[in-house]
Structure formats: structure tokens, C-alpha cells
Chain A
Amino acid sequence: MFARTRLILGMAGRYLVKRRRQTIVAVAGVGVGVGFFLAVSALMIGSQNDFVETLIDAAPHIIISDEIRSPSPQPAVVALPGGAVQVRGYKPRNEVRGLKDWQQIARAAEAIPGSVVAPSLSGAVTLRVGGREEALGIIGVDPAIQEKLGNIEENLAQGRLRDLETTQGGIIISEDLADRLGVGMGDIVGATSRVGNRTLKVVGLLARGRGQLGGNGYVLLREAQSLTAQPFVINSIGITVPDPYAAEEIAADLEARFGYKAQSWQERSADFLALLLTRNVIMYSVVSAILLVASFGIYTVVSNSVVDKRRDIAILRSVGFSEADLQRIFIAQGIVLALIGVLVGWGLGLLLMQILGSLEFNIQGRVENIPLDRRPRQFLIAGGASLFCAVIAAWLPARKAARVDPVDILRGAA
């Protein structure tokens, strides 16, 4: 079997070598197709991964808030299940906001190996400096825990998260907000909350362009409890898990156990993720079309070869080669072309990625490179898809080769 494969590959190779120009064009077609497939997919998936990473890192992977998706049933409804009388027009009891028994929820979340659980309290204040006022959502955090999450600390342009602990009334705000208020590091700002007026000191500035993260101000947890007049209350638990992609399942489990709304990062970003899916479908359609067009070159080479080699086909049939052997010889031509084309394409893809990766862009004062996905997965997809297209492109004319009637050819030549 191995000897026959060698023979067939050798014959296919010999036919290709003799049709050098067509072979080069077909290989170049596949190479360019694979190369651009890799460059485009590296660009698209790289930017997607970067975007998803930003989504994941912008906030805890799961946020449990003091909300419930559907109101709990009223006591009368619970007491009379399936009753004939429908209770209507009752006055629901006012619930105190905040997570009840949050320590129990936190313990359950901490039981997940490698997880970091960060209780927080969010509220709203108005910051004032001179005549300027800016409304701001504030989040009270525990810096020791937040440090483990890293999302605030890593995005600080100035200051440190731990400064919240050492500075009375410290606050971290974004550089954008600081500009609008005309304040900088160490400056004092006035803060108005529902308990009255206070002063806060800017101890950290979040870098620009940090989206959701930069939209809030960060203070010490007890400072937030004091500002919102909710001592010992927390209304949110942020959970970071080792595998962000398991967040959805864990969130559903925690919500089922404790009743509070547990939102995974996937749920919070569902719109964006759906958009990315659409973008991927478009991208793969376009790059697959490139590979498909490249396979037309292979079809042309093999098809021409079948037409030119009708006499050889008749000779080989008379010598004892079977129809399947002949089909394999021509399919092997397509596979050999595709394999060489894929190798050329991988090289071209790497070169294009190198060029794209070396480009530098100035984004809001920071020099950044284009994020690229260089994982082997894309190389394998491009190679596999090209080989598949090549086999189909070669199989179509190869079928004709197998159907050639040797007697017609031999009679015609005589």
C-alpha cells in the first residue's frame, strides 16, 4: 500500500514538474489565499480577543447585586397554592436594599478554587470644584481584595489603590473626569451625597479610555457606606473566577441558590458578543471565499492535466492501472499543489503578521500595536480548509480521468 502511494505521488509530482508554469500559478494562488486568510483572521480574532479581554477585565466576572429577576411570591400566594381565590391589590412590603446574609453568599463563592470575592457598595455623589459639578457613581471597595483582582490597580495612570486606606476620604477618579473638574493628584473636591456635603481627596487617576471602569469613582468601602448612609450594608459582590468562560454557569448556580441576580460578564456583554459572532460569520465567509477562489487554480491544473494526458490514461489502463489508481494520481496532484501552497501561505501569513504586528498606533497618548491572534489553530484551519477545497477541486476532473475509455483513445491513436 505504501509502495503504491509512493508510486502515485511520484507520478503526480512528475506531471506537475512538467507543467511548471501552471503549477507555480496554482501554488501561488493557494499561498496567497492562505496567507491572507491568516493575516485577516489574525487581525480580526486578535482584535476580538483583545476586546473580549477588556470586557472580562473591566469588571468582576460575576456581579451579584441586590436585585431579583422576578419578585418573590407574596405570603398569601404561598399560603394558598392553587387556591380558587386570587389575591389581588395587596400592598407589597418595602424591602431594605442591600444583600442580606451576604457573608454566606461570599463564602459560597470563595469555595470555588482560585476565586476572588469582593463585596462592594455602590452609590452616587456629585463632585464639585469651584462652579463645576459632575455626577459620579461611586463604588466602595476593599483595596486589599481589589488588589488581587488587579483591574483597578492595573489601570491607574497615577497613584496606588492602597492609598485609599492611608488617606482619609480618598477617591480614585478617571483622568477624563479630573480634566473636566480641573483637578489633579492630591487635590480636594467637594462631594454632595444624600447625607450632606463632604470633601474627598484625589489619590489616584485611572488612565483614559478604560470604558466602564473609568465611569465610576472608587472609595474605601466604609467611606461609601458613610456617604450613602448605609452602614454595614453592601449591595454588590464581585466574583473573579480562574476560568472566565465558566462564569455563566457559576452565576446561574449562585442565582439559583441565593435568589439574587447574578450576572456573568457574558450576560452583561451579550449585545457585544452577538455582534462579534456576526462579525466572525462575515469574516470566515470572506476568507473562505478567498480559499475557494484559490482552489479554482488547482481545478484548472488538474483539469488540463486530465485532458492532456488522455493518451497516458489509456496506456496506464492497458498496463493494468485501475480506474481508482488513475483517480488517485490526479487527486494527488491537487493535494501536492495544496500542500506546497499551504506551506507557502503559512510563510506569507507569518510575514504579513510580522508586518502588521510591527505597526504602531498612537491611541490617546499611548503607543499600541495591533493585537494579532497567532495561535496555531488558525494555521490548521487555513491548511485544512485549503486541502479540503483542493481535494474537491481535483476530484471533479479526476473522476473524468477514471471514466476515460481506453479503447476510444487507443483506437483514435491507431
Chain B
Amino acid sequence: MEARGLGRTLPGEPPVPLVRGVDLEIMPGRFHAVIGPSGCGKSSLLYLLGLLDRPTAGTLTFDGVDTLPLDGDARAQLRLERFGFVFQFHFLLAEFTALENVALPIRRLGRLSGSAATQQAMSMLEAMGLADQAGKTPDRMSGGQRQRVAIARALANDPSLVLGDEPTGNLDSQNSARVVEIFQRLARDQGRAVVCVTHDPEVAAAADVRIHMLDGIIEKID
């Protein structure tokens, strides 16, 4: 994924710039951490990269395809097939079990039959060490378990880009370390591009690339 002069300004009097002139390259097999003070535009940049929000300036290409002209359905399809999101709060659907939550994107993609989708969702949970939690609804699981279910759901359709918005922000240090380890594995062992917005210095330290943001612009990349 490549961003050139990427910007996002909220309309109003005066207009509020969230992200300004971002030039950025997200590379496969690398763990990127976006860091900076609160309100510097980290999450806004993540939503732009995840095609949840539309930029007001610049270009954004994914696998060589300009994403700006894509309509809502095409952007949704790209998110479904190629992107995986993990948020600070687990953001699981309360009415559905862990297994059903993970199976949702697989079933929506529709490439597997019902039973095969369930089987794949189960293997994702097993990979997260949550096979025994498959039948539980989120309210009967711990915070760490929920976040791992959310990661399993993000990986359900084998995405090439994984986006995390403070994924460890609500976890204790033990669970936080476990999530960081998973993110590292996703990038280094599985060759996925991982972008993670964080305040946590340990997450930033574990990343391959650190993107420092301030007032909506990239201050430095190291």
C-alpha cells in the first residue's frame, strides 16, 4: 500500500485537518507501528489506510490499484478479502458466539460452504489457543480472550494487510505481550503487512517500522 500526499480534512468553519500530506509505504512482511500523542491523527490515518474513510487529498494505491475511484461496494469487498481490522475494544458481536463471530467474514465472502466456513473459523480459533471458547458469547470470556477472537476474525479471510487500532490498549501486560507476539508472527512468519496504531512503547519497540506522527503529519519514520 502506498500513500502520496494523503490528507483528510473535516469540513466546517474553520476546516479541521486530521491528516496532512502523508507519504507512506506499507510493506508486506513488516510490522509497522504508528505512534504519537493523542489527537495527532494516528487513528484517522489508519481508517484512511483501511478504506473506512475517504481522503480529501492525495492518492492511495493498494497492489497498484488506485483506491480513490472505488465505490462503497468495491471498498467493502477489498476490506472483506484483503484487510483485517483489530480495535482497542474487542468489537465482537454480542449476540454471536466466538466461532460465529470468526465465521462471519468467511460466510460473507461466500467462497466456502457453511460447514467448511465453520471449520476454517474453528482452525483460526485453535491457532489462537481458543478452541475451548468457541461456543461462548463474548460476555463469558476474558478481555484477552475476546481480543484474540477479534484477531482470529481479522485473519479469517487470510488478509494481506492487518490494521490494529490500539489493540493492546485495553489488555494487561501478559495479554498485551501475547498480542504483540501474534502481530510479529503475522508479519515476519506469514509475510503480511501489519499496521498498528499504539501508545504502548513495548508495541512500538517490537515493530519493524515506527511511524512518528504529530499534528496530522508524519514527523519521521525509523
Contacts and interface: CB of A to CB of B under 8 A. Distances in A.
Interface of A: 3-4, 6-7, 14-15, 17-18, 311-312, 314-325, 406-407, 410-411, 413-414
B18 to A, nearest CB: 10
Nearest to B103: A7
B212 to A, nearest CB: 20
A318 B107 contact: no
A7 B107 CA distance: 7
A411 B18 CA distance: 13
A323 B92 CA distance: 19
Nearest to A311: B91
B76 A322 contact: yes
A14 B95 contact: yes
Contacts of A312: 93
Contacts of B80: 319-321
Contacts of B47: 407, 410-411
B95 A319 contact: no
Given A315-B91, A318-B52, A320-B157, 5 more contacts: A14-B95, A320-B80, A407-B47, A414-B87, A414-B166
A4 B73 contact: no
Q: Classify the interface of chain A: helix, strand, loop or mixed.
A: helix
A318 B85 contact: yes
A329 to B, nearest CB: 11
A414 B165 CA distance: 9
**What 9 A-B pairs come out closest when comparing CB atoms?**
A320-B80, A322-B76, A320-B79, A318-B85, A407-B53, A7-B107, A315-B91, A322-B73, A3-B110
Interface string B167-207: 00000000000000000000000000000000000000000
Nearest to B153: A319
Chain B CB within 10 A, most for which of A4, A7, A18: A7
B105 interface: yes
B68 interface: no
B45 to A, nearest CB: 12
Which of A6, A318, A414 has most B Cβ within 10 Å? A318
A410 B165 contact: yes
A103 to B, nearest CB: 77
A221 B95 CA distance: 83
B77 interface: yes
A50 B53 CA distance: 66
B216 interface: no
A321 B52 contact: no
15 contacts: A3-B107, A14-B96, A314-B91, A315-B91, A315-B93, A320-B79, A320-B80, A321-B80, A321-B108, A322-B72, A322-B73, A322-B76, A323-B76, A407-B47, A414-B87
A15 to B, nearest CB: 6
Range class of the B interface residue count? 35 or more
A315 B77 CA distance: 15
A4 B110 contact: yes
Contacts of A317: 52, 76
A410 B90 CA distance: 11
A322 B51 CA distance: 12
A321 B76 contact: yes
B108 A325 contact: yes
B50 interface: yes
Interface string B148-169: 0000010001000000011000
Contacts of B5: none
Nearest to B111: A3
B114 interface: yes
A325 B79 CA distance: 14
Interface in B11-67: 43, 47, 50, 52-53
Nearest to B76: A322
B216 to A, nearest CB: 15
Contacts of B114: 3, 6
A195 B109 CA distance: 96
A414 B47 CA distance: 13
B19 to A, nearest CB: 12
A7 B118 CA distance: 13
B87 A410 contact: yes
B52 A18 contact: no
A411 B43 contact: yes
B161 to A, nearest CB: 12
A319 B108 CA distance: 9
Contact of B76 (A7, A15, A320, A411): A320
B36 to A, nearest CB: 15
A315 B43 CA distance: 15
